[in-house]
Amino acid sequence: FDAQKVTVVYVLGGPGAGKGTQCSKLVDAFGFCHLSAGDLLREEQNREGSEYGEMIRTYIREGTIVPSHVTMKLLENAMTGEMKKKTGDGWVDGKGRFLIDGFPRKLDQAIGFDETVCLASLVIFFNTSEDVMLQRLLERAKTSGREDDNVETIRKRFRTYNEQTMPVIEHYRTLNKVAEIDSTAAVEEVYRAACATVTNLFS
Ligand code: UP5
Ligand code: MG
């Protein structure tokens, strides 16, 4: 993808930090196309005839990272589909705007996607404590139906995040691309900070 025609913003943060919640709100305000890597993987997992269904289920249940080629292909396909539309979600002034939520989760994915698909302009990093994230996920577990919303898997997700995803954030920090937002506060308050960051990017 031509960086002149698309703007890619990565949205990172631990499990339950509020990535999805904030992305939905940013879509309305800034006309982004929101691509959640986790949602794309869950869709593929449930797609009839998918050759990756069982594999994805195993990784998600273990809180580990699905092999990069699978996730990158799903993201690329979703972006291509959106680019073909040329109107509607994700298009502002002839330029595609993508919020990529929950990806890249490890360093090789970050470097691979930046090099082969599109260079990210910004990383929004929602940061809060594990205690807060755990409480949010346990609350959501009552209704989410997500197979990874249980204490055992949540602990594994935290470990994977600390060991593999934090280095991605550090990588972008050295490139001065990270906007860190404390996501401990109420949704609306976090959103105000997120809005200010994105307004700044497009001004
Ligand atoms: N909530 C949100 N914000 C709040 C606030 N400010 N105050 C109070 N409550 C707040 O929020 C979680 C819950 O908290 C919700 O109930 C919300 O109402 C409330 P949400 O916005 O859903 O948080 P989010 O950060 O999106 O949490 P999520 O669980 O989606 O994060 P994960 O990163 O764990 O999940 P994801 O779907 O990205 O990935 C799942 C799995 O897929 C991974 O573990 C991995 O196995 C696999 N995966 C890959 O392998 N590769 C990828 O690239 C991506 C995923
Ligand atoms: Mg999410």
Q: What CATH number does residue 176 fall under? A: 3.40.50.300
Comparison of pLDDT for 95 and 88, the residue scoring more: 95
Residue 133 lies in a domain: yes
pLDDT of the residue at 30? 96
State which of 19, 34, 138 you would mutate to test the pocket of ligand 1, scoring each by most atoms of that ligand within 8 A of its C-beta: 19
Residue 41 has pLDDT above 80, yes or no: yes
For residue 126, list its beta bridge partners. Answer: 13, 181
Residue 1 lies in a domain: no
pTM: 0.97
For residue 34, list its beta bridge partners. Answer: 99
Kindly state the helix (H) or strand (E) to which residue 138 belongs, with its residue range: helix 130-144
Contact 108, 161 (CB under 8 A): no
Atom of ligand 1 at shortest range from CA of 101: 38
* DSSP symbols for 100-124: EET---SHHHHHHHHHHT---SEEE
State which of 21, 66, 124 you would mutate to test the pocket of ligand 1, scoring each by most atoms of that ligand within 8 A of its C-beta: 21
Give the count of domains, the chain. Answer: 1
* 3-class secondary structure, 92: strand
Query: Which residue segment(s) compose the domain that 135 sits in?
Result: 6-201
